[in-house]
């Protein structure tokens, strides 16, 4: 910009004096050739006293040999620049030293730039402190949350334990009640027999009643034993369609006698499941018999299977019987809950079915409308289709 009005020496000096960066130019002999206003303030020197004097005058005597070393390095190594943060009189200065060369790359000297970065540095320090405090607080809170979580875990375990104990207590109380009733009956029968052993007619009647009571206890014990054996499931690949067909053909006589029409809808591409056929049979026998009991004057029983997706198969057992009153819906899976006449139900059927299905990784649910009918849905995890395919092995003929 040769014709620019700002290009003259005065303007350039005015520009450099207006900057808040200290500028000192030192020639190849380490003599100061230029000092701007900000550099005068920072270095506490006067331009008219410093220009023409050695740069060493700007530093304390102790620093002289280090300053000379730095300047010598500038002269020897091309293109180096140096950056240093200096703290002096409680202020921080960012000092940059840049080599100045002419067009032929001849070393002319070094320009020293100094900028007051105290505010920036203070902010950084504040930020650092704030970060440390924050980190500390986060650590403290994390610890508090961890402690609270651990306490909650312990409390939850205690709760689960006490719920388990309560459930066991409830179960045992129910069991004692279920066994005591027929035992009482049997005792009364035996007392009556013993009081008049010669009365053969009475002895026969009471013996039959006592046998009924024993039968009830026997059924109860059998069901409980099957539950106790639950941990030893023997799982194989099971075709639920086949199990349902078997159950319905075995119960068809009873169902037809009760004027119940059976409607079977089996999915033709139902995946196999991995399960214990014996326990699964018990689940569906109970659902079918419950449906049958709910239709004392006949009705329609529908058994359907679906392969909705590859993950689960779905089985529905639907009746149009008396339905389950709303107030019972929450209890039907409880042990010993039954609405059936004495000796007709132990109230363990759905309780056990629920456990068996759960042990297979499945779910059982119910929908019912009082007076209209009931629909039970069982979901069981399917074996993925590709695993069902028969493996073809290649034989190399020699
Ligand atoms: N399909 C249904 N329709 C109406 N009520 C039902 C149906 N299924 C179950 N219930 C109700 O749920 C109760 C509990 O059923 P659950 O199978 O557990 O026991 P239960 O059939 O009474 O006795 P058991 O131990 O012999 O099975 C039944 O007594 C009945 O009141
Ligand atoms: Mg039942």
**How high is the mean pLDDT of the chain?**
86
pLDDT in tens, 161-218: 777 777 777 778 778 877 888 898 899 999 999 999 999 999 999 999 999 889 888 8
Look at residues 32, 30, 1 and name the one whose alpha carbon lies nearest to residue 15.
1
Give residue 108's Cα distance to chain centre. 69
Q: Give the residue with greater pLDDT, 345 vs 115.
A: 115
State residue 342's pLDDT score.
Answer: 64
* 353 Cβ inside 6 Å of ligand 1: no
* 320 Cβ inside 6 Å of ligand 1: no
Query: Which amino acid residue places its CA nearest to atom 12 of ligand 1?
Result: 332
Residues 260 and 357 in one domain: yes
Confidence label for 262 from pLDDT (cuts 50, 70 and 90): very high
**Is 396 part of a structural domain of the chain?**
no
State residue 4's pLDDT score.
Answer: 59
State residue 343's pLDDT score.
Answer: 64
Cα gap 343→374, rounded to integer Å: 23
* 291 Cβ inside 6 Å of ligand 1: yes
Of 12-26, 52-66, 178-192, 277-291, the least confident? 52-66
pLDDT at 64 over 70: no
Of 2-16, 214-228, 251-265, the least confident? 2-16
Average of pLDDT values for 21-38? 91
pLDDT in tens, 70-94: 777 777 765 566 777 778 788 898 8
Contact 96, 111 (CB under 8 A): no
CATH number at residue 99: 3.30.450.20
Q: What is the pTM of this model?
A: 0.58
In the chain, what's the furthest Cα-to-Cα distance? Answer: 147
Which domain range does residue 284 map to? 233-387
State residue 328's pLDDT score.
Answer: 95
* 337 Cβ inside 6 Å of ligand 1: yes
* 377 Cβ inside 6 Å of ligand 1: no
Residues 98 and 174 in one domain: no
Domain final position from 70, 100, 116: 116
Residues 273 and 154 in one domain: no
Length of the chain (residues):
398
State residue 398's pLDDT score.
Answer: 32
State residue 394's pLDDT score.
Answer: 40
Average of pLDDT values for 277-304? 95
Give, to the nearest 10 degrees, the angle between helix 240-257 and helix 277-293: 30
Cα gap 310→113, rounded to integer Å: 74
Confidence label for 60 from pLDDT (cuts 50, 70 and 90): low
* 283 Cβ inside 6 Å of ligand 1: no
* 93 Cβ inside 6 Å of ligand 1: no
**Is 220 part of a structural domain of the chain?**
yes
Residues 259 and 365 in one domain: yes
* 348 Cβ inside 6 Å of ligand 1: yes
Cα gap 99→242, rounded to integer Å: 93
Domain final position from 228, 256, 275: 228
Which of 222, 334, 345 is the best mutation target for the ligand 1 pocket, counting ligand atoms within 8 Å of the beta carbon and taking the most? 345
Cα gap 71→128, rounded to integer Å: 35
Q: Give the residue with greater pLDDT, 201 vs 393.
A: 201
Domain final position from 205, 228, 251: 228
The radius of gyration of the chain from alpha carbons, rounded to an integer in Å, stands at: 48
Query: Which amino acid residue places its CA nearest to atom 19 of ligand 1?
Result: 347
**Is 313 part of a structural domain of the chain?**
yes
Residues 161 and 237 in one domain: no
Q: Residue 346 Cα, ligand 2 centroid: separation in angstroms? A: 8
Cα gap 51→55, rounded to integer Å: 9
CB neighbour list of residue 151: distance below 8 Å, 6 or more residues apart: none
Cα gap 83→96, rounded to integer Å: 5
Q: Residue 288 Cα, ligand 2 centroid: separation in angstroms? A: 9
Q: Residue 349 Cα, ligand 1 centroid: separation in angstroms? A: 7
State residue 63's pLDDT score.
Answer: 59
Count the domains in the chain: 3
**Is 30 part of a structural domain of the chain?**
yes
pLDDT in tens, 130-165: 999 999 999 999 999 999 999 999 988 888 877 777
Which of 221, 226, 330, 350 is the best mutation target for the ligand 1 pocket, counting ligand atoms within 8 Å of the beta carbon and taking the most? 350
Cα gap 334→266, rounded to integer Å: 30
Residues 246 and 381 in one domain: yes
Residues 29 and 44 in one domain: yes
Confidence label for 322 from pLDDT (cuts 50, 70 and 90): very high
Residues 85 and 154 in one domain: no
């Amino acid at each position: 910009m040769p014709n620019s009005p700002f290009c003259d020496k005065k303007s350039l000096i005015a520009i450099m004096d207006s900057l808040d960066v200290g500028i000192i130019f030192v020639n190849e002999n380490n003599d100061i050739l230029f000092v701007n206003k900000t550099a005068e303030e920072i270095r506490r020197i006067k331009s008219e006293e410093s220009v023409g004097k050695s740069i060493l005058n700007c530093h304390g005597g102790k620093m002289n040999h280090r300053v000379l070393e730095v300047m010598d390095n500038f002269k020897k190594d091309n293109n180096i620049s140096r950056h240093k943060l200096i703290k002096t009189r409680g202020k921080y200065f960012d000092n940059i030293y840049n080599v100045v060369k002419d067009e032929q790359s001849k070393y002319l000297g070094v320009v020293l730039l100094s900028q007051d970065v105290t505010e920036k540095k203070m902010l950084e320090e504040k930020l650092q402190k704030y970060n440390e405090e924050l980190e500390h607080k986060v650590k403290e809170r994390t610890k508090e949350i961890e402690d609270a979580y651990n306490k909650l875990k312990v409390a939850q375990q205690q709760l689960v334990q006490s719920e388990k104990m309560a459930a066991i207590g409830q179960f045992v109380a129910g069991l004692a009640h279920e066994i005591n009733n027929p035992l009482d009956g049997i005792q009364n029968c035996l007392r009556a027999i013993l009081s008049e052993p010669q009365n053969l007619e009475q002895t026969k009647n009471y013996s039959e009643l006592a046998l009924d009571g024993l039968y009830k206890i026997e059924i109860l014990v059998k069901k409980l034993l099957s539950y106790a054996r639950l941990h030893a499931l023997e799982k194989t690949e099971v075709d639920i369609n086949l199990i349902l067909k078997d159950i319905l053909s075995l119960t068809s006589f009873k169902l037809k006698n009760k004027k119940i029409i059976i409607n079977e809808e089996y999915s033709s591409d139902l995946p196999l499941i991995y399960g214990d056929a014996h326990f699964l049979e018990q689940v569906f026998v109970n659902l079918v018999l419950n449906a049958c009991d709910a239709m004392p004057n006949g009705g329609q029983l529908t058994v359907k299977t679906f392969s909705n997706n590859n993950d689960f198969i779905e089985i529905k057992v639907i009746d149009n019987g008396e339905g389950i009153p709303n107030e019972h819906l929450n209890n039907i899976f409880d042990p010993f809950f039954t609405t059936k006449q004495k000796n007709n139900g132990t109230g363990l059927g759905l309780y056990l079915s629920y456990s068996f299905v759960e042990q297979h990784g499945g779910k059982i649910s119910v929908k019912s409308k009082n007076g209209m009918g009931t629909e039970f849905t069982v979901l069981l995890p399917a074996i993925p289709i590709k695993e069902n395919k028969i493996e073809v092995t290649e034989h190399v003929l020699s």
